[in-house]
Amino acid sequence: MRTEVAQLVSLGPLPEESALPIEVARREKIIRSIRKPLTLEEAVALSHLLGPDNCFGLAWTVVHLIESAPKWSIEHVPNGDSPWLSILRTRLQNSKGAST
């Protein structure tokens, strides 16, 4: 796993939009340093960081990073009820339907 991905994972889930600006800025800097494509291991690790809200757009950026991993599939989306996990599942189902 690349250093920048490991750093982001070590910070834990993305903070809610009510978090201190410094917490959001720290994650934003790391997220913006991550280059596509991710490995499958990195994508799975980042999927566990998705929280309950948009985190000022950072959640969408993380989703796009996750989706860049080759062989990313529905089986890799963690269990949970985060709206972002639901978005990942829906996007994977839609892409599978489009390819058949």
Say yes or no to pLDDT of 22 above 50.
Answer: yes
Measured between alpha carbons, how far is 15 from 90 in angstroms, rounded to an integer? Answer: 23
pTM: 0.91
Cα–Cα nearest to 30, from 49, 7, 14, 52: 7
Domain boundaries, the chain: 3-99
Q: Tens digit of pLDDT for each residue in 47-77?
A: 999 988 999 999 999 999 999 999 999 999 9
Burial 63-100 (b: 16+ CB within 10 A, else e): bebbbbbeebeeebbeeeebebbeebeeebeeeeeeee
